[in-house]
Amino acid sequence: MNEQLSDFAKERGVEYFLISYTDLFGAQRAKLVPAAAIDDIQEGGAGFAGFASWLDMTPADPDLLAMPDSASAIQLPWKPEVAWVAADCTMNERLVEQAPRNVLKALVARAGERGMRVKTGVEPEFFLLSADGSEISDSHDTAEKPCYDQQALMRRYDVIAQICTYMQDLGWKPYQNDHEDANGQFEMNWEFDDALATADKHSFFKFMVKSVAEMHGLRATFMPKPIAGLTGSGCHAHISVWDGAGEVNRFASREDELGLSEEGRHFLGGIVRHATAYTAITNPTVNSYKRINAPRTASGATWAPNSVTWSGNNRTHMVRVPGPGRIELRLADGAANPYLLQAVIIAAGLDGIDTRADPGKRQDINMYTEGHLVEDAPRLPLNLLDALRELDRNGALKAALGEEFCEAYLKLKKDEWNAFVSHFSRWEKENAIDI
């Protein structure tokens, strides 16, 4: 039974609750509710106009009611009188099936019916920019190979350490932070958890990083490719499947060379089989395709895939098996919706188990220098429209994610693509003005 949020408020001195839901484009929408009114909101939901966010609704639709999930409540470490609570969207007393958190919860339940608990960890990367977002915030961060740069990391110590301390206070068990492969880019890691808990934490993490950056007069962005020529921001996901009690790793095997069970290989097979379709969700923006189809970056490598291949502990592939009992999907980027990222992983993996999918040949080459030798590997979509078409053609994945969600997502994302292609860029004028 859910805890009463009014009790949470009394115990912790919370004066306000941010009742938050995440829309199809990954934007977080919230209402600030005083603690004195939270009992009514917990019972009846916070009212929103769904059309006013990125959901496929109209101004004539009735109220969208965001029902707070008290299990997700997080007291803001930097503003402890406020607590953030993830909410599930309802309308006319039924779940809104296109709402991302509802999509994920349905898939978590489907895995649970099979006695499976999907556990995941994410590795979100982000840039710290100037307040107006026009340039890297650290003018001294200019190294050709800036990854793990000690000096650059410590020049942003105040920001990174503040966020990490907050994660420790929240019990997330963060374990490392680093300067990443692009100038101005960072990554922070915390312990893996059940897929829904990871998605809630991932959503809150993005809110927290942006908030702390603003306190320091900076701007944080998870945009996949904010700066031409530099490595883009990924969001690698580590995946394992456990028994219902969460005690036995069903992906682990002592007999397999990579430590991956037969069930784990079939799950991997689903991840491989459906990759070109779920790219529309793991890489959901026009800008995403400037990361996964990028030319060589200033550091010497993009650290992003452009083909559907898998390997052992080899970071140049879309999927790697870095250790026994888990796989890492390296495709997703910083724009990925935290809930939909987890949802497509589960959807693709369960289909792989159901169909006993074969992941295909393991590749151990350096894909950045020898990728042209792998002739039969599917190429990832070259742009958002190609990705959306792949998703629309994939009946199994659409069925797993739900008809209402897929119809809404494809409609709004195609509208976004049409808005992009109707824009006249400076490049077009500079290169065609004399025709």
Q: What domains, with CATH codes, occur in the chain?
A: 13-95 (3.10.20.70), 106-426 (3.30.590.10)
Mean predicted confidence (pLDDT) in 181-203: 98
Q: What percent of the chain clears pLDDT 90, i.e. is strictly above it? A: 94
- Please enumerate, as own/partner, the contacts of 153-161 that have beta carbons within 8 Å and a separation of 24 or more: 153/177, 153/178, 153/179, 153/186, 156/128, 156/186, 158/216, 159/128, 159/212, 159/213, 159/216, 159/218, 160/186, 160/188
pLDDT the model gives residue 6: 98
Query: pLDDT band for position 296 (50/70/90)?
Result: confident
Task: Calculate mean pLDDT across residues 161-165.
Answer: 98
Mean pLDDT of all residues in 47-51: 98
Calpha distance 77→74 (Å, rounded): 9
pLDDT score, position 220: 98
Q: Residue 54's closest CA among 399, 338, 415?
A: 415
The predicted structure's pLDDT at residue 336: 98
Average confidence (pLDDT) over 44-72:
98
Number of neighbouring beta carbons within 10 Å of residue 51: 14
pLDDT value at position 375? 87
- CB–CB of 39/4 below 8 Å? yes
pLDDT value at residue 435: 77
CA dist 287 and 129 (Å) reads 17
Q: Tokens 């509802």 — which residue?
A: 102
* Predicted local distance difference test score (pLDDT) of residue 429: 87
Mean pLDDT, rounded, for 170-190: 98
2 has a pLDDT exceeding 80: no
Model confidence at 346, pLDDT cuts 50, 70, 90, reads very high
Average of per-residue pLDDT across 303-326: 97
Judge whether residue 293 has pLDDT over 90: no
SS3 of residue 107 by DSSP: helix
Residue 226 near residue 311 (C-beta atoms within 8 A): no
Mean pLDDT of 17-23: 98
Per-residue confidence at 314, pLDDT binned at 50, 70, 90? Answer: very high
Whole-number mean pLDDT of the chain? 97
pLDDT of residue 197 exceeding 60: yes
Measuring CA to CA, which residue among 359, 346, 354 is closest to residue 401?
346
CA angle 327, 330, 333 (to 5 degrees): 140
Angle value at C-alpha 124, between 249 and 166, nearest 5 degrees: 90
* Average confidence (pLDDT) over 134-161: 98
Read off the pLDDT band of 26 (50, 70, 90): very high
Confidence (pLDDT) at 434: 76
- Position 109 scores a pLDDT of 98
Q: How confident is the model at residue 386 (pLDDT cuts 50, 70, 90)?
A: very high
- The residue-averaged pLDDT of 88-108 equals 98
Residue 66 has pLDDT above 70, yes or no: yes
The share of the chain scoring above pLDDT 70, in percent, equals 100
pLDDT of residue 388: 98
Quick one: pLDDT at residue 294? 86
What pLDDT band is residue 295 in, cutting at 50, 70 and 90?
confident
C-alpha span between 75 and 132 (Å, rounded): 29
Q: Which of 295-299, 394-398, 415-419 has the lowest mean pLDDT?
A: 295-299
Residue 379: the pLDDT is: 96
Taking the C-alpha atoms of residue 4 and residue 24, their distance in angstroms, rounded to an integer, is 28
Token pair listed for 271: 């991840």
